[in-house]
Amino acid sequence: MKPDKDLIIIGGGAAGLSAAQYGARANLNTLLIEETALGGQALLIEGLENYPGFPEPISGFELAQRFEQQARNFGAEFLTASVKRVQKEGELFKVETSAGVLTSYAVLIATGAKHRMLGVPGEKELAGKGVSYCATCDGPFFKNQKMLVVGGGDAACDEAMFLAKLSDKIIHIHRRDRFRAQKAL
């Protein structure tokens, strides 16, 4: 039985987009499946200053668009859907998605990272109504208002710096005595 695709990639972050580019460039009939926007965590970066080949800062959004275009130029295809199940059946993989069932010789899982929820009362109920996990996406809605950032790693510090351009009322909470973020941040 001939599969629908040679390679199915699950996840549209930097690793998934890179795999799509390489797969398609190697003449594999390649499909990347992502349930949300392509780019993954890169979409949260306002200005990436240390990526090889880009002497000027580039936004994560623009970088993700370039990754996608490069993969498309080589023939990769994209599907917006959620993956429900992956199962090996003989020589093929069966991938059940919200858009239907597909088969392939190989499946590459590049689902990446997701934001951490704090687990505080009201967090789920207020998501999208003041609680956000993307300062670049939602920060402008709260311009000149008091905002709170939780965390001490690169992502939290990067988000706090972005928000500081929108308001002088930024509170940054971290549970340790010092941040874990790179000193460059």
Which residues participate in catalysis according to the annotation? 134, 137-138
Q: How many CB atoms lie within 10 A of CB 35?
A: 15
How far is 93 from 101, CA to CA, in rounded Å?
10
**DSSP characters over 84-148:** EEEEEETTEEEEEETTEEEEEEEEEE-----PPP---TTHHHHBTTTB-S-HHHHGGGGTTS-EE
Q: How remote is the C-alpha of 146 from its chain's centroid? A: 27
